[in-house]
Amino acid sequence: MNLVAALAVMVLVLASAGEAVAFVVNAQPPQNRRTMNLDLLPTTNFSSLGYGVTSWNALAQAALAEWNAAGIGNPPDHQFFTVRVPAVTGNPCQPDGINEVRFSSTVCGLAWGDAIGITQRWSVNGRVVETDVLFNSTADVPMNAYPGPVVNATSVGGTLFDFYRLALHEFGHAAGLDHPNLDGGQSVVAVMNSGNQAVGGPQSAVDHLQADDIAGAHAIAWVGGGLVAAVLPSSRSVQVGTAATAFATIINLSSGVATGCSLAAGTSVPATFTYQTTNPATNQLTGTVNTPTNVAAGASQSFVFAFTPTAAIAPTDVVLNFACANAGPAPSNSGLNTLLLSASTTPIPDVVALGATLTSDGIVNVPGATGTGVFAVATVNVGASGVITASADTGGVPLPVTLSLCQTNPTTGACLGAAAATVTTTIDANATPTFGIFVTGSGSVSFSPATNRIYVRFRDSGGVIRGATSVAVRTQ
Amino acid sequence: MVRSARAACLVVVALLISQAGLALADSFLPKDFDQLVGEAEEIFVGTLTATSSSRLPTGAIVTDLTFSGVRAIKGGSTSDVRTVRILGGTIDGVSMKVAGIPDFEVGRTYLLFSKENGRAIFPFVGGPQGVFQIVQDSTTGTESVFDARGNPMIGPVGGSATPDRQAVTSGGRSGPPVSVDIFIQAIRDRLPQ
């Protein structure tokens, strides 16, 4: 077959289209629900609005509501997207914890080029922490809002873009979907296709979610899946053969019952693992050991779990899998729902530490960019006596803060010595020393409680961590 | 005979290219093949040999892509190295990724329709529409053209610079991808003589 014939065959082949379910889920699903900050101010580049609403924010909110109606994940979470109230001005050029949605004439100082809208995913150490959606507000991209087939712009020519379906498309990215046609190389009718808003194109009238979009939304294994979880205390240090226990709570954020919820060790350590439900008011055991339970919509369930080491364990941040048969697992965040576990063949200190902030919400607020925030840490050594050095850090996250701490009088809270980078003291068995931690800013710290945290760690004379706790930090 | 077949092939490609039809753009403005060629400040083939990410003063992460062994088709310098800057990248565990922007792979050869390099977020005509991969058949040595995601270009069909993606639907139709020689000739045919 010569080249002409080959091309002719290609043309004939191309004329017989097929169709398939073709959604493409991004490899990095969201860690949790998305609270979007709608910051779509009126702009002179835009004229009349369709869809029965009168503001870009209202259109965006309607697009979010359409995705919620479809549901994200399995089971479908119908509250995946929420709108931040009140709206603030976020910075899409840095991971500040605000999922910004706005028009912009540039993207972080760069020109739009041929882009009309983008979704930026910020991730830290592989975890998606922020998703920003920007729309091109330059005059090169005429935009309006209207249902039905897209039309040409009378002003500058080319497509008059429909904001609503563009917002639907970008929010689909925010939920965790990619392009079926580009990223999947497939053919299907979908809002998530790239290419719908071409005048005269075969899908130019697709202005609402299609079956493939909804099937894709349900296939998003977003990490939270409607579950969140917490662990206290966040560290235990025991002798081999002794159970290291801690409490955990699962909250079911979804609108349906989470069934068969259980705990499991997600990190391999030489230890046996058990868990059991508890009464959160009394901490007394309920149910039976290692038996999954249901958690009602919007409800929580408390547990106690135990690792009993069978050999020595160097300090290990053990991940716990909080999962239900129809939801989860809950996102894992070090210091929030992991357990720093160590075990020794000889008696060792076991400093159980709990942080206390002024607002009793686990957040230390730094007043202004250069102010100083404080919080306290109460401890009890339930292990052997030992010389312990306390220190504070940001867990490797570069934050514009300087940290110092002191041991305090448990009654008055006053420092027993000058605050410094570390404090070394002997903590006897069953002693309950307290500490004050000072957080001085040299810049603004955004509110991202899963990422921006202050850790207080207690190390023995060998430098081994025998206790730890943490609080979130932000500038206010 | 071979010569006449090749000429006829180019005619068919040109006819296909000139037809109005599909365009790609929800996140990017739609561009047809003529626009790709016409709007590109530079068109070149090069192999990605290095990437380097940095931060802009705004805090955004950008990545410089260094292409070596460059064969210029339109515009540009005489150097055989080009650096193209795109928005997104990873620094110290912090990543910024723009949905819909294809990943570039070191060692892979690309055919690029570049414009606004250093100024725009993704400096290719029509965004991903201006990015193509060149893949050499290990058996025949023939270089063929694939789109930014690696879908075969079954000819720049219907006025679009992208392949007919229906042709790569699983279980659907298929065909040999266009050779890079034919593709480049189609570009050259659109350049001012």
Domains identified in chain B, total number? 1
Asked if residues A332 and A319 have their Cβ atoms less than 8 Å apart, the reply is yes
Verify whether the Cβ–Cβ distance A93 to B58 is below 8 Å. Answer: yes
Least-confidence region, from B48-57, B101-110, B151-160: B151-160
Q: How confident is the model at residue B147 (pLDDT cuts 50, 70, 90)?
A: confident
Nearest to B23 among A10, A121, A201 (CB): A201
- Residue of higher predicted confidence among B170 and A337: A337
A184 and A234, same domain (yes or no):
no
Mean pLDDT of A90-114: 90
Note the ipTM here.
Answer: 0.81
Q: List the single residue in B20, B31, B171 with the smallest CB-CB distance to A114.
A: B31
pLDDT tens-digit map of A126-145 = 777 789 999 998 877 788 88
Task: Specify whether A18 is located in the same domain as A125.
Answer: yes
Q: Given a cut of 50, is residue A365 above it in pLDDT?
A: yes
Check whether residue A70 and residue A208 sit in a common domain. Answer: yes
Q: Are residues A149 and A138 in the same domain?
A: yes
- Residue B78 to chain A, least CA–CA distance (Å): 25
Q: Which of A9, A150, A182 to mutate to test the interface with B (most CBs of B within 10 A)?
A: A182
Query: Which tens digits make up the pLDDT trace of A245-265?
Result: 999 999 987 767 888 999 999
What region, left, alpha or beta, does residue B75 occupy, with left being phi > 0 and alpha being psi -120 to 50 degrees? left
Stretch A154-162: mean pLDDT: 76
Same domain, A403 and A337: no
For residue A70, give the H/E element and its range: helix A56-70
The reply to whether A380 and A452 lie within a common domain is yes
- Report yes or no: A325 and A292 within 8 Å, Cβ to Cβ: yes
Q: What is the domain extent for residue B50?
A: 2-189
End-of-domain residue from the set A189, A219, A249: A219
Give the tens place of pLDDT for each residue, A389-442.
999 999 877 789 999 999 999 999 999 999 999 999 999 999 999 999 999 999
Q: What domain range is A285 assigned to?
A: 224-346
pLDDT band at residue A43, thresholds of 50, 70 and 90? low
Question: Is there a single domain that holds both residue A163 and residue A206?
Answer: yes
Q: In B, which residues are within 8 Å of A110 by CB distance?
A: 56, 60, 62, 87, 119-121
Q: Are A73 and A149 members of one domain?
A: yes
B127 contacts in A (CB within 8 Å)?
Answer: 113-115
**pLDDT confidence of residue A473:** 93
Q: Which of B27, B122, B124 comes nearest A194 by C-beta? A: B27
- Boundary residue ending a domain (A314, A346, A378): A346
- The domain tally of chain A equals 3
Determine phi and psi for B3, rounding to 5 degrees.
-60, -45
Rounded to two decimals, the pTM is 0.62
Q: How many CB atoms lie within 10 A of CB A14?
A: 19
**Residue B38: pLDDT above 80?**
yes
CB A149 within 8 A of CB B161: no
Q: Are residues A342 and A352 in the same domain?
A: no
Question: Which residues of chain A have a CB within 8 Å of the CB of B119?
Answer: 110-111, 113
CATH number at residue A89: 3.40.390.10
Q: How far apart are alpha carbons A295 and A225 in whole angstroms? A: 13
- Which A residues, 161 through 200, put their C-beta within 8 Å of a C-beta on chain B? 165-166, 169-170, 173, 178-179, 181-183, 185-187, 193-198, 200
Q: Which residues of A296-312 are buried (b: 16+ CB within 10 A; e: fewer)?
A: eeeeebbbbbbbbbeee
Verify that A426 and A357 share a domain, yes or no. yes
Q: Which of A94, A185, A198 sits opposite B151 (nearest CB)?
A: A185
| Contact between B135 and B100 (Cβ < 8 Å) | no
Contacts of B31 in chain A (CB under 8 A): 114
B93 Rama class: left (phi>0) / alpha (psi -120 to 50) / beta? left
pLDDT at A46 over 80: no
Of the residues A199, A219, A239, the one at which a domain ends: A219
Q: Is pLDDT above 80 for A156?
A: no
DSSP H/E element including B68: strand B61-74
Interface membership of A21 toward B (CB under 8 Å): no
B46 burial level (CB within 10 Å; 0-12, 13-18, 19+)? buried
